[in-house]
Chains A and B, each alone.
Chain A
Amino acid sequence: MIRVVLPPHLRTLSRVEGEVSLEVTGPVTQRSILDALEAGYPMLCGTIRDHVTKQRRPFLRFFACEEDLSHDPPDQPLPSAVASGAEPFLIIGAIAGG
Chain B
Amino acid sequence: MSKVRVLVGTRKGAFVLTSDGKRKDWEVSGPHFSGWEIYHLKGSPADPNRLYASQSSAWFGQIIQRSSDGGKTWETPGGGMTTTPEGMPQGESNKFVYDVSPETGKPLTTHQWYDGTQHAWEFKRVWHLEPSIKDPDTVYAGVEDAALFRSTDGGHSWQELSGLRGHGSGPKWQPGAGGMCLHTILLDPRNSERIYCAISAAGAFRSDDGGKTWSAKNRGLRSQSIPDPSAEVGHCVHHIALHPSRPHVLFMQKHWDVMRSDDAGDSWREVSGNLPTDFGFVIDVHAHEPETIYVIPIKSDSEHFVHEGKLRVYRSRSGGNEWEALTKGLPQENCYVNVLRDAMAVDALDECGIYFGTSGGQVYCSADAGDSWAPIVRDLPAVLSVEVQTLP
- Chain A positions within 8 Å of B, measured between CB atoms, are 7, 9-10, 13, 38-48, 51-52, 57, 59-60, 93-94, 96-97
Contact = CB atoms under 8 A, between A and B. Distances in A.
B94 A47 contact: yes
A60 B80 contact: no
Contacts of B59: 7, 9, 57, 59-60, 93-94, 96
Contacts of A9: 35-36, 57, 59-60
A59 B90 contact: no
Given A9-B35, A13-B76, A39-B89, A45 B60 contact: no
A10 B61 CA distance: 11
Contacts of A96: 58-59
Give the secondary structure class of B's interface. Answer: loop
Q: Name, among A7, A43, A48, A97, the residue most crowded by chain B CB atoms within 10 Å (CB to CB).
A: A43
A41 B78 CA distance: 11
B63 interface: yes
Contacts of A48: 60
B89 A38 contact: yes
A52 B58 CA distance: 18
Given A9-B35, A9-B60, A42 B82 contact: yes
A42 B88 CA distance: 9
A94 B58 CA distance: 10
Contact of A46 (B62, B83, B90): B62
B1 interface: no
A52 B123 CA distance: 12
Sort chain B's interface into a size bin: 20 to 34
Given A38-B91, A44-B91, A45-B94, A57 B60 contact: yes
Contacts of A43: 63, 76, 79-80, 91, 93
The 7 tightest CB contacts between A and B, nearest first, are A45-B91, A43-B79, A42-B91, A42-B89, A47-B60, A43-B76, A59-B59
Contacts of B62: 46
A82 to B, nearest CB: 22
Nearest to B97: A52
B23 interface: no
B63 A13 contact: yes
Contacts of A41: 91
B92 interface: yes
B94 A42 contact: no
B80 A45 contact: no
B328 interface: no
Q: Name, among A46, A93, A94, the residue most crowded by chain B CB atoms within 10 Å (CB to CB).
A: A46
Contacts of A46: 61-62, 91, 94-95
A93 B94 CA distance: 19
A39 B58 CA distance: 23
17 contacts: A9-B35, A9-B60, A13-B63, A13-B76, A38-B91, A40-B89, A42-B82, A43-B63, A45-B92, A46-B61, A46-B62, A46-B95, A47-B63, A47-B94, A59-B58, A59-B59, A60-B59
A45 B63 contact: no
Nearest to B76: A43
A12 B78 CA distance: 17
A47 B76 contact: no
Q: Name, among B36, B58, B83, B89, the residue most crowded by chain A CB atoms within 10 Å (CB to CB).
A: B89
Contacts of A51: 92, 94-95, 97
Nearest to B87: A39
Contact of B81 (A7, A10, A13, A42): A42
Contact of A42 (B36, B61, B80): B80
Nearest to A46: B94
Contacts of A97: 58
B80 A10 contact: no
Contacts of A52: 97
A20 to B, nearest CB: 13
A6 to B, nearest CB: 10
A47 B61 contact: yes
Contacts of B76: 13, 43
